Amino acid sequence: MFEKMIDDSMSKSPWIFHINAGSCNGCDIELVSVLTPRYDAERLGFRLTGTPRQADIVVVSGPITVQTRDRLVRTLAQVPDPKCVVSLGSCPCSGNVFKGSYAIDGPLEKWTHVDVSVGGCTPKPEAIIAALAKATEILKEKRKEMRK
Amino acid sequence: MSVLMNLFHVLVFPGLLFCVVMGVLLSGLDRIWVARMQRRVGPPLLQPLYDFLKCCGKETIIPRHARKAAFLAAPVVGFVALVSISLFLPVAGQEAVFSGSSDLVVILYLLTLVSVCMIVGAACSGAPFAGVGLSREMVAMISYELPFVLVILAVSSVTFTVTGNVPQSFSLQAIVDFQAANGALITRLSMIPAAIAMLLVIPCEVGNHPFDVAEAETEICEGTLSEYSGAPLAIFRLTHMVKMYIMAALFCVMFLGGITTGIVLLDIAIFVLFCIVLTFITSSLPHAVCARFKVEQVFKFYWTVVAGLAVISLILVWLGL
Amino acid sequence: MNILNHFPIMSVMVLFIGAFVNALVGRKSSAARNGVTFVAITAALVMMLALIKPIMLDGEVITYWMGNWAPVEGWAFGISLEVDALSLFFALIVTVAVFASGIYSFTYMSHDDSQVNYYTLFLMLSGSVLGLVLSGDLFNIFVMVEIMTFTAVALTAFRTNYEGALEGAFKYLVVGSLGSTSLLVGIAMVYSQLHTLNLAQLSALIPQNASNPVLLAAFAFLFMGFATKAFLFPFQPLAADAHAVAPASISLMISGVLTKCGVYGIVRLVYCLYQNWDLPFVQYLVTGFGAVSMFICVTMAFNQHNFKRLLAFHSISQVGYVITVVGLGSILGISSGLYHAMNHTIFKGLLFLTAGAVQHQTGSLDLDRLGGLSKRMPRTTILFLIGAASISGLPPFNGFASKWMIYQATFQQGMSTGNPFFILVCVVALITSVLTLASFIKVSQSVFFGQLPEEYKDVKEVPVAMRVPMWILAALCVVTGVFPNLVEKFLLLPATNAVYSASAYIDHAMGADYAAAHGVFSNGILGIPASNCWQPATWLMLLFCVTCAVAIVALLGSPNDSKKLAISACDEDAEALDAKYESFFSGEEAVYSQVGGSDLFWGFKHNWRKYFSFMHDWHSGIVNDYTLYGAVAIAFVLLACVILL
């Protein structure tokens, strides 16, 4: 009865959980600026949560260092379905300037399916919002798919 | 017919449906106001509803250390107990559905039961962050309980001067009738400190921002809720919203009761307006102004400042003001 | 002569005879031992239940003169048993608790040696307590108190392998003797003045001589004697030491039954013997002692890290509630006090038995080491939660019904007399209730929820034979909580009426018009004010309605075409750990991390650290100190009574 409403809500209330996988903190700051008065992602229902159990979108920044890899995989496993993974910045896509380092075990695709990637070092807040909005659409599709 | 009428009361007004609608409305308004005070646009009004529905559509993971039955039952029991409070409240000039004597004490304990359900749910999940969260939730509860009890005693002691009998003076219906005859309690000098104390009790009782020590998302990963996902989480969120309405309604009944025009719809409109204003004062304003307290600060604040206000009120009543 | 008239003496004797028979035949065979015990406790329970009809419903008083030595010319020389509704009320509490404790013992004690001693002492303890509440003679009360104290001391030290068992028993012995001595001195003073020890005759004579200073001193001694037996402040450290080390079935007896003897004694003393409940000084004295015990003990319970020690402090706190309202002297006060006394026996008994179950299965009571037992002992967990909800006063369990009356009684007293002291007592009672809840949250988190330590992986549920008495008590918790009207009609109203009809008590023993001739007039009561207000049955129906509505909405909304979105839980027995079902630990690998134990509510304790450190020093654990506190309290009450009364 409420299936349609739930499907619609899926794209209107995405809660974000942010994982820093060895990032230099640049992308993290930009992600926070998305929630500030200037860009105000709460307009679209975004909200930062403190636990992966409540997350819909997992935002990963950083080049996946060897130290963070296990933590990243474990935390991603703890997110309930349907979920979306967004890679933030160039590091999780390609390793960026850290590529080839002995301490890096990237890219993010190696460990999980990435739904949306935002490039840039660091990406602009507008780009991040666009990516998150894209992720909400994917979230809705995933929910519909799961229902079938 | 009376059975149908009772069912209508339980399910529609002032019961389940009205509670949920008011809860969503108040919590949506609260989020918008906070956003506006921070010069943001803010989410749509129905955002809490979207959150609720979305959580319903998510997978529910039961952690390995959790007790499945209690983990799932705790949110439902808490929510039902909370909704049953609304049936004790003679809101908007209507008679309370389940009117008895001494229902203030019953309400006090039902509110406790709601928090206990949250604590038991957290305890069942077996997670360390939830453990820290429940410890804080309990300390917050001890904190606001003292001023809350004092406020209740202060209000009852005013009605006692008229009813002369204790079960009656603890009865919300009697309190409303008293106000209908003698003017709202907030207009009395002796009740003003108690009303302020009650306004300060509400955010902690609801678990709103400066006092949300138990669900601090940044420090202890949502605390009591850290292992909850899916539908049980949705019910906990809904409980939080409905609690905002219940506390606002309780304040209306205790301090702004007896204001009736005789027209049911107009009465309801006035009541809703009061609830909205109270939400702004008790929830949005402190949220936008204050940063989160530490748990021991919460305790100290409530047992000194707020309890002090309530005691002043009791003394004023005793002096006959 | 009606056979029912013999039931009081028979029920006491059957327990004592059971004790001696047990000592003779029980040494070899456990079947004989258990059989004798079972027959004795069941017979006592059945006899007391049979007395409900004549005494509670028809309002009779049964007086039994030993050897048929009836009073001659208005002087009672013989020993009597006199059972009015008040005595029967406490006798019922006692027999039900004895029954539960006895059945529990059969399995709980099955691994101990020299069980014959245990059951002999247990039956003597039960018999003495029952004799105490049924006795119509002040000196007999003293004799029974002595038997009770010494058997309780022996049983406390029964498991000598426990750390502190002998020490706890020794403290109990020394400070308990102080109370007994105080009682004896009080009795001697009364006898020296009035030359009789029959309760009924004393009730007629004492109010006439109310200003006699010796009798006032006797009042102080008797009051403190009974207060010792109820472990009121300042005797509470004793209770904690004794309860924590006794076997759980005996902790039930000490907390649920022995303290009730103190309550019974105080009620008899104030309402029947001296009839001075309406004097402000007596109200302050009794209520003050109750309120202080209630508050100090609940805060002390916060600091405990032993399950049973924590429960021990709570039992004094709950007895404090009872004494507080008994001291108010109002009808509502006494009835709520009796109600809470009954409820306390039920839920505290249940809690001690669950503590015993935990100890029986894990061998530990340490809150800092246990955890997560709900996975292994789910039924015990449910029983514990029922008990915890009852003692914390959550609706719809019985603790709520009686506490609700207690708040009204104290508030009523405060408002109708305009005395802020009683308002303060009301606030203390309400806060004590929250703190009680907090301690039980601590226990449930530290013992039953949270994570299971590695060493308790193979813990099993307790055997059915131990669960049966727990279920009996849990069912009583629910029944007496959901149907307060029935409890009131069958138990509270007759018992409260008996409290207020001293003249009927006197006349029945001493002959008609004896009370009136000595100027004692009392009419009993017509009803308990404020009754019928809390109707949990209606509330539960409402709750049921709302639950149904929520369930229907949930069913309509549930995705019937998708089974994937349903709840997912991990396979319990899977060897490999799936990260999905591990607790979120900031991404770290899940390790054993139990949050619980004694420091759970540090946010509260931090603000009260000075108070707690003072209390810590005060509870020094040295028996000399405790004796000194007791002596000082007796001296204080003695002085206050003689000067102010």
- Read off the pLDDT of residues C367-387 as tens digits, 9 standing for 90 and up: 888 877 887 888 888 888 899
Choose the closest CB to B230 out of A15, A48, A80: A80
Rounded to a whole number of angstroms, the distance from the CA of B27 to the nearest CA of chain A is: 14
On chain B, the residues whose CB falls within 8 A of the CB of A80 are 58-61, 229-230
B112 interfacial to chain C (CB closer than 8 Å): yes
Give the per-residue pLDDT at C459: 80
Q: What is the mean pLDDT of chain A?
A: 85
Listed by number, the residues of chain A in 81-100 with a beta carbon closer than 8 Å to a beta carbon of chain B are 81-82
Q: Torsions phi, psi of C84, nearest 5? A: -105, -175
B288 Cα to chain A: minimum distance (Å): 13
Chain C residues touching residue B112 (CB < 8 angstroms) = 392, 394, 434, 437
- Closest CB from B108, B142, B227 relative to C583: B227
DSSP state of C135: B
Task: Give the mean pLDDT of C80-84.
Answer: 87
Q: Tell me if A43 and B57 make a contact (CB, 8 A cut-off).
A: no
Does the CB of A45 have a partner CB in chain B at under 8 Å? yes
Position C532 confidence tier, pLDDT thresholds 50, 70, 90: low
Residue C6 confidence (pLDDT) above 50: yes
Give the mean model confidence (pLDDT) for residues B258-283: 84
Cα C314 to Cα C299: distance, rounded to the nearest angstrom: 9
| Residue of C404, C437, C529 with shortest CB distance to B105 | C404
Pairing, β A57-61 against β A84-88: parallel
- Assess contact for A128 and A118: CB atoms under 8 A: yes
The model's pTM is: 0.89
CB A78 to CB C561 under 8 A? no
Report pLDDT for C564: 45
Residue A95 lies in a domain: yes
Over residues C135-170, the pLDDT tens digits come to 888 888 999 999 998 898 888 888 888 778 888 888
Q: Stretch C548-566: mean pLDDT, rounded?
A: 62
Q: Is residue A34 part of a domain?
A: yes
Of C437, C450, C602, the CB nearest to B123: C450
The Cα C150–Cα C135 span in angstroms is: 19
For the stretch C256-269, pLDDT in tens is 888 888 899 998 88
> Within a domain: residue A59?
yes
The pLDDT assigned to C203 comes to: 86
Query: Cis ω on the peptide bond leading into residue C234 (within 30° of 0)?
Result: yes
Beta-carbon neighbour count of residue B76 at 10 Å?
19
Is residue A148, in this structure, part of any structural domain at all?
no
* Of residues C394, C550, C594, nearest to B80 (C-beta): C550
Is the minimum CB–CB distance between A28 and chain B shorter than 8 Å? no
- Interface contact A146-C564, CB threshold 8 A: yes
- Average pLDDT in the C13-21 region? 90
C561 to chain A: nearest residue by CA? A147
Binding partners of A (≥3 Cβ pairs within 8 A): B, C
Residue C42: pLDDT band with limits 50, 70, 90: very high
Q: Grade residue C603 by pLDDT with cuts at 50, 70 and 90.
A: confident
Mean pLDDT taken over chain B: 83
Amino acid A122 reads T
The pLDDT, as a whole number, for residue C571 is 62
**Residue C235 contacts residue C626 (beta carbons within 8 Å):** yes
Q: Any chain B CB within 8 A of the CB of A67?
A: no
Distance of residue C553 Cα from the nearest chain B Cα, in angstroms: 11
pLDDT reading at C563 higher than 50: no
pLDDT: is B142 or C583 the higher one? B142
- Tell me which residue in A10, A42, A50 faces B217 most closely, judged by beta carbons: A50
- Would A124 be classed as within a structural domain? yes
Determine, yes or no, domain membership for A13.
yes
Determine the Cα–Cα distance for residues A51 and B218; give it in Å rounded to an integer.
9
Of C229, C281, C271, C286, residue with least CA distance to C254: C229
Higher pLDDT, C525 or C445: C445
Of C61 and C579, more confident: C61
Question: Structural domain tally of chain A?
Answer: 1
Model confidence band, residue C569 (pLDDT cutoffs 50, 70, 90):
low
**Residue A133: which domain range?**
3-143
In a domain, residue A113? The reply is: yes
Domain CATH for A114? 3.40.50.12280
Phi, psi of B178 (to 5 degrees): -60, -40
Give the distance from residue C541's alpha carbon to the nearest chain B alpha carbon, in angstroms.
10
CB within 8 Å: B142 and C412 = no
Average pLDDT over residues B280-290: 87
> For all residues of chain C together, what is the average pLDDT?
84
pLDDT value at position C244? 80
Helix (H, G, I), strand (E, B) or coil at C497: helix
Tens of pLDDT along A117-144? Answer: 888 888 888 898 888 888 888 888 888 7
Q: Does B51 touch chain A (CB under 8 A)?
A: yes
Residue B29 has pLDDT above 60, yes or no: yes
- Which of residues 204 through 243 in chain B touch C, CB cutoff 8 A? 213, 221, 226-227, 230-231
Q: Select the residue of C556, C578, C584 nearest A52 (Cβ to Cβ).
A: C584
Contact status of C67 with chain B (Cβ, < 8 Å): no
Tens digits of per-residue pLDDT, B74-133? 888 888 888 888 888 887 667 766 666 667 888 888 888 888 888 888 888 878 888 888
DSSP string, C362-419: HS--BTTT---GGGT-HHHHHHHHHHHHHHTT-TTSHHHHHHHHHHHHHHHHHHHHT-
The nearest alpha carbon in chain C to A76 belongs to C580
Q: What percent of chain B has pLDDT over 90?
A: 3
Q: Do C444 and B123 touch (CB under 8 A)?
A: yes
Chain A contacts in chain C segment 517-556 (CB below 8 A): 556
Instruction: Measure the CA–CA gap between B207 and B33, rounded to whole angstroms.
Output: 17
Q: Is the pLDDT of residue C184 over 90?
A: yes
Amino acid at position B201, single letter = V
Give C 440-459 residues with CB within 8 A of chain B. Answer: 441, 444-445, 448-452
Chain B interface includes C381 (CB < 8 A): yes
A55 touches A111 (CB < 8 A)? no
Q: Up-side HSE of residue C440: CA atoms within 13 Å toward CB?
A: 29
Interface test with C, best of B19, B125, B138, B314 (most C CBs within 10 A): B138
Average pLDDT over residues C480-506: 84
Say which of B61, B106, B131 has its CB closest to residue C445.
B131
The reply to whether residue C579 touches residue A77, judged by beta carbons under 8 angstroms, is yes
Interatomic CA distance for residues C50 and C11, integer angstroms: 11
Looking at residue C185, its pLDDT comes to 92
| Torsion from C-alpha of C487, C490, C493, C499, nearest 10 degrees | -110
Is residue A60 pLDDT above 50, yes or no? yes
Q: Say yes or no for a CB contact (<8 Å) between B217 and A78.
A: no
Q: Which of B11, B135, B170 sits opposite C601 (nearest CB)?
A: B135
Distance from CA of C568 to the nearest CA of B (A): 5
Instruction: Please give the share of chain B, as a percent, with pLDDT higher than 70.
Output: 93
Interface of C with A in 588-607 (CB under 8 A): 588-589
CA atoms within 13 A on the CB side of C571: 6
Which has more confidence, C460 or C183?
Answer: C183
Give the pLDDT mean for B250-272.
Answer: 82
> In chain B, what residues touch A53 (CB-CB under 8 Å)?
61, 226-229, 233
Does a structural domain hold residue A105? yes
3-state secondary structure C2-54: CHHHHHHHHHHHHHHHHHHHHHHHCCCCHHHHHHHHHHHHHHHHHHHHHCHHH
Tally A–B CB contacts below 8 A.
97
> Where is average pLDDT lowest: B29-33, B175-179, B259-263, C245-249?
B259-263
pLDDT for C128 equals: 92
Residue A80: which of B220, B222, B229 has the nearest Cβ? Answer: B229
Which pLDDT does position C577 carry in this prediction?
66
> Is any Cβ of chain B less than 8 angstroms from the Cβ of A137?
no
B contact test, residue of A54, A140, A143, A148 with most B CBs within 10 A: A54
Task: Check CB contact of B96 with chain C, cutoff 8 Å.
Answer: no
ipTM for the predicted complex: 0.87
Chains that touch C (3 or more CB pairs under 8 A): A, B
Q: Looking at CA atoms only, how far is residue C598 from chain A in angstroms?
A: 27
DSSP string spanning C512-553? TTHHHHTT------S--TTTT---HHHHHHHHHHHHHHHHHH
| Exposure letters C368-404 (e unless 16+ CB within 10 A, then b) | ebbbbbbbbbebbbbbbbbbbbbbbbbbbbbbbbbbb
